[in-house]
Amino acid sequence: MSINSKKVQVISARKAGMASCHVCHLVVSLESIKQNNICTRCHSPIHSRKVDSISRTWALVVTAIILYIPANLYPIMTLTKLGQGEPNTIISGVMHLIHSGMWPLALIVFVASIIVPVGKLLVLMYLLMTVQNRSYNHPKDRTTLYRILELFGHWSMVDVFLVSILVALVDLGFIATIEPGVGVLYFGAVVITTLFASRAFDPRLIWDVIDDDLG
């Protein structure tokens, strides 16, 4: 309903019997590539929409949620200072930074390791559910949400990189060593799974409902 009032006169490529190549964005008519369904320019397979987008995205989202549990339960690194070990999970690492007064740092780690992955999974679930319910509401805002996901998703990797840097750098024998924990393995898996999840989602599905009903 909101879209009609704005009077945006567009026709979708699918309605025009065309599809754009996922790789080189060439618009080809589906009629002309009937035989083999590959792009006439870059020879990639042509699909009007990403294949099985909804079920693949759901599968990856659920996988990421499951992996996120051990990622938070197991320590991501252990700092051993003068013989005393101190394992840190993602959350206790953030708390530790707050207690030692490093607010900006705590904020960076908190945003990158908790807000971004959790927010990403919540937004993807919201997008999936609204598409499955054939929602008409706020298609433009939902597309913007998706665009933001694609833009910031990979910044969660900062925690994985941080652990790798600290482990390589802080290797000072008895004075101080940092050892990685298995939590970083699960967290890295979460980040990579969510990256694949957001790429599996096809934002054009948001608009298909509206295009279908416009006839």
Q: Under rule CB under 8 A, which residues in 120-159 are in contact with another protein?
A: 139-140, 143-144, 146-147, 154-155, 157-159
Distance CA 187, CA 67 (A): 7
Shortest CB 31 distance to another protein, Å: 8
Applying CB under 8 A, among 1, 5, 8, 35 the residue interacting with another protein is 8
Determine, following the binding rule CB under 8 A, whether residue 201 of this chain makes contact with another protein.
Answer: no
Determine the residue type at 156: S
Shortest CB 62 distance to another protein, Å: 21
The 155-194 site mask, x for binding another protein (CB under 8 A), equals x-xxxxxxxxxxxxxxxxx-xx--xx-x-xx--x---x--
- Asked whether the beta carbons of 136 and 167 are under 8 A apart, the reply is no
Helix, strand or coil, per DSSP, at residue 79: strand
Determine, following the binding rule CB under 8 A, whether residue 114 of this chain makes contact with another protein.
Answer: no
Determine, following the binding rule CB under 8 A, whether residue 94 of this chain makes contact with another protein.
Answer: no
- What is the maximum alpha-carbon separation in the chain? 73
Shortest CB 136 distance to another protein, Å: 14
Question: Of 5-13, 52-60, 84-92, 121-129, which segment contacts another protein by CB under 8 A?
Answer: 5-13
Four-point Cα dihedral 126, 128, 132, 138, nearest 10: 50
Beta-ladder partners of 178: 79
- Entry field: residues in the chain: 215
Closest to another protein by CB, 65 vs 158, is: 158
Question: Of 57-65, 117-125, 129-137, 203-211, which segment contacts another protein by CB under 8 A?
Answer: 203-211
Determine, following the binding rule CB under 8 A, whether residue 95 of this chain makes contact with another protein.
Answer: no
With b for 16 or more beta-carbon neighbours within 10 A and e for fewer, the 49-71 pattern comes to: ebeebbebbbebbebbbebbeeb
Q: Which of 25, 24, 29, 22 is nearest to 47 (CA)?
A: 22
Distance CA 154, CA 193 (A): 11
Applying CB under 8 A, among 2, 24, 115, 129 the residue interacting with another protein is 24
Q: Which of residues 28-87 bind another protein (CB under 8 A)?
A: 28-29, 32, 41-44, 81
Beta-ladder partners of 81: 84, 176
Applying CB under 8 A, among 14, 65, 135, 138 the residue interacting with another protein is 14
Determine, following the binding rule CB under 8 A, whether residue 102 of this chain makes contact with another protein.
Answer: yes
